[in-house]
Amino acid sequence: MKVGVVGLGTMGAGIAQLCVEAGIDTVGREVTADLGAKGRDRIVHFLTRKVEKGQIESFDIDRLTVTTELAGLAECDVVVEAIVEELGPKRELFAELERICRPDTVLATNTSALSVTEIAAATSSPERVVGMHFFNPAPLMPLVEIVRAELTSDAAFDTAYALGETLGKHPIRCHDTPGFVVNRVLIPLLNDCVRVLDEARVGAEDLDAGMRHGAGWPMGPCELLDLVGIDVHVHASDALYDKLREPRMAAPPRLVAMANAGLLGRKSGRGFYTY
């Protein structure tokens, strides 16, 4: 099997890392050679750490080819898209992939909040398009949601599900509805948590302790939002609210203000906490 990954940012590099670790020939595509090299370095760094910690015996980085050309994906059996979370660029990419890849290549999108059906509609073979929603960080989070769009074929769906298992994940099956399974539950829940911060006049540390010790969460909501990225969460909230118009889906003003102020969490050094 040969897997292509389009976009070697945080998510794409994590997915490509999983493929290399599983011994799969992998082609990673980035828009520039510099970004491609950064993605490759990131993968080598994390796999080397796993060897040092005794979590894996070895890895073969020669399994990974990095290219700037979409044509480099022509011989892949599955291509996973992990580019910017915007419908326009994803639809353009899938139309291109359809021209370049073999007719039997399964085209998967790692979108977390967009409609897989709308992405698939940019192609003339929507039956081969499926959602494979990995969670961040992809190498550590055990879940992958396998999402059936309106016209996804059983063959494409089963291929994506089997790939999820090969990568050592726990795949779950779902249909293409806004937020799929986890985000449909988690995004409004995190928004509720942030509203409680103001309404109950509770501090971030106390709220996090409350949800860890009272609800059994492994990580408090404020810690989780800082890890995910405040801007990423607001973007996903907006996408869900646009589709469903449920008030709980809308990002609370406090989160919007934080995103606008550049308080994005861990990646900016400051969110609910300082890093």
Q: What is the pTM of this model?
A: 0.92
Q: State pLDDT tens for residues 117-151.
A: 999 999 999 999 999 999 988 999 999 999 999 99
Class of domain 2-175: alpha beta
Give yes or no: 21 in active site: no
Catalytic, out of 21, 30, 133, 191: 133
CB 131 within 8 A of CB 107: no
Catalytic, out of 30, 81, 98, 145: 145
Give yes or no: 213 in active site: no
Q: How many CB atoms lie within 10 A of CB 175?
A: 14
Q: Does domain 185-267 correspond to CATH entry 1.10.1040.10? A: yes
Instruction: Please report the pLDDT score of residue 113 as a whole number.
Output: 84
CB 275 within 8 A of CB 266: yes
Instruction: Please report the pLDDT score of residue 136 as a whole number.
Output: 86
Give yes or no: 45 in active site: no
Domain ranges across the chain? 2-175, 185-267
Catalytic, out of 112, 115, 191, 237: 112
183: tokens are 């985000």
For the chain, which ranges sit under pLDDT 50? none
From CA 23, how far away is CA 175, in angstroms rounded? 30
Q: State pLDDT tens for residues 224-264.
A: 999 999 999 999 999 999 999 999 999 999 999 999 999 99
Give yes or no: 110 in active site: no
The β-bridge relationship of strands 25-29 and 2-6 is parallel
